[in-house]
Amino acid sequence: MKTLIAAYSQNRSGSHASIQAALHTLLTAPWPSQRDVRACLQLLSVLQWVLSFLFMGIISLLLLIYLVFTSFWPISALYLVWLIFDWDTPERGGRRFAWLRKWAVWRHFRDYFPIQLVKTHDLHPSQNYIIGSHPHGILCVGAFCNFITGSTGFFEKYPGIRSFLATLSGNFRMPFFREYLMSGGLCPVTRQAIGYLLSRNGTGNAVAIVIGGAAESLSCQPGVTTLILKNRKGFVRMALQHGAHLVPSFSFGENELFRQVVFKEGSWMRNLQERCRKLLGFAPCLFYGRGLTSIHSRGFLPFPRPITTVVGEPMTVPKIEDPSHETVDLYHGMYIRSLLKLFNEHKAKYGLSETDELRIL
């Protein structure tokens, strides 16, 4: 009996010693530094953004369809009724919320890369503007951060200017995802939607359009400065029709965020991409970035590379309701020269060399 008691006492002593050792290890272990916490928050902010833009639309659609076959089918029915009545809202200025654009998460998103906005000239609230955004890159990170979120100081640098970003109209057919896009100030890249903002929404509107579109994303890769612009003249015609001034902008570093498998022109994979682009409005790209656990692993998150978006000088455009082809060509050429000037003046400051040239196709 004494042996059992001694063994029990020894076991309890050992347990207390183990607990004390564990507590000591826990208390003496280094806690995450502020730098580590900031890095984690930055990574999570980028993760939520990428997941939202790549998967939120299709997941919401599948969820709504699934609910139809459950006892929660009234949710799908009510949203469908709402969607019918609200169908044209994206084409009529949308439904934006200032508080969403000021989320703290966007500051962490900005600092992950980091991203900065460089102002070269004033934009006056008495005018409307079309901002040409170049290049497209894979996910238009620079355009989104600068023209949709308030994290880089757009509203302070351009007081009285309301910025919008035009994106694929198909995104606004996705349930719930359309609400998310409109709340931030995104609009469909259609004549009706852009025309509404430039003619029926007062003045002080700046609509950013990523001119190169999906076609440009197919040639996106680090070190490449090629734009699809030579035959893209619709934005110039719209500017003339509404008397909106044209503003070139260039995001240095946009093409450095992902690695992409670029297929040669004429190959069957490139032809497949082009067919999807013409049919669906977007081109499926085979790209990769960093992984979630390490910058050296592969995943779908962008690499942390600095992006600097330089907004150039506004180009005065007269209002001509039915501009001729010659007039459109004239102002299109003026816009290209203005963009080339902007690129050449700032390329050496933001990661390129003096010998790098901007190719326009």
What pLDDT does residue 351 have? Answer: 86
Q: What is the CA radius of gyration of the chain?
A: 26
- Give residue 55's identity as a one-letter amino acid code: F
- Give residue 301's identity as a one-letter amino acid code: L
What pLDDT does residue 224 have? Answer: 76
Report the alpha-carbon angle 179-180-185, nearest 5: 95
**Whether this model's pTM surpasses 0.75:** yes
Question: Encoding tokens for residue 54?
Answer: 């790549």
Q: For the sheet with 205-210, list strands across it.
A: 115-119, 307-311, 245-252, 129-134, 205-210, 162-167, 186-188
Going through 171-286 in order, the beta strands assigned E by DSSP cover 186-188, 205-210, 226-227, 245-252, 259-260
- Structural domain span for residue 196: 34-352
Q: Which helix (H) or strand (E) holds 147?
A: helix 141-147
Whether the CB-CB separation of 276 and 283 falls below 8 Å is answered with: yes
What's the distance, CA 186 to chain centroid? Answer: 10
The answer as to whether 226 is a domain residue is yes
Q: Is 251 helix (H, G, I), strand (E, B) or coil?
A: strand
What pLDDT does residue 112 have? Answer: 97
Cβ atoms within 10 Å, residue 62? 11
What pLDDT does residue 268 have? Answer: 72
What pLDDT does residue 314 have? Answer: 97
What pLDDT does residue 20 have? Answer: 66
What pLDDT does residue 221 have? Answer: 77
Cβ atoms within 10 Å, residue 49? 21
The answer as to whether 145 is a domain residue is yes
The answer as to whether 13 is a domain residue is no
The answer as to whether 26 is a domain residue is no
Beta bridge partners of 298: 290
End-to-end CA distance of the chain: 94
What pLDDT does residue 4 have? Answer: 41
The answer as to whether 68 is a domain residue is yes
How far apart (Å, rounded) are the C-alpha atoms in residues 100 and 117?
19
How far apart (Å, rounded) are the C-alpha atoms in residues 250 and 163?
16
Q: Is 327 helix (H, G, I), strand (E, B) or coil?
A: helix
Per-residue pLDDT tens digits of the chain, which is 361 residues long: 444 444 445 545 555 666 766 656 645 666 677 888 888 999 999 999 999 988 999 999 999 999 999 999 999 999 999 999 999 999 998 998 988 888 999 999 999 999 999 999 999 999 999 999 999 998 999 999 999 998 999 999 999 999 999 998 888 999 999 999 999 999 999 999 999 999 988 899 999 999 998 778 877 778 778 899 999 999 999 999 999 999 999 999 999 999 887 777 777 777 776 777 766 666 677 788 999 888 888 898 999 999 999 999 999 999 999 999 999 999 999 999 999 999 999 999 998 888 888 989 8
Q: Which helix (H) or strand (E) holds 119?
A: strand 115-119
- Give residue 248's identity as a one-letter amino acid code: P
The answer as to whether 276 is a domain residue is yes
Question: Encoding tokens for residue 203?
Answer: 């003045």
How would DSSP label each residue in 272-302? HHHHHHHHHSS----EEEE-SS-TTSEESBP
The answer as to whether 7 is a domain residue is no
Question: Would you give the DSSP letter of residue 77?
Answer: H
Whether the CB-CB separation of 206 and 163 falls below 8 Å is answered with: yes
What pLDDT does residue 198 have? Answer: 95
The answer as to whether 24 is a domain residue is no
Q: Which helix (H) or strand (E) holds 343?
A: helix 325-346
How far apart (Å, rounded) are the C-alpha atoms in residues 291 and 286?
15
Whether the CB-CB separation of 308 and 119 falls below 8 Å is answered with: no
CA distances to 182, 215, 228, 229 from 360, in Å: 32, 13, 6, 6
What pLDDT does residue 144 have? Answer: 96
Q: Domains in the chain: how many in total?
A: 1
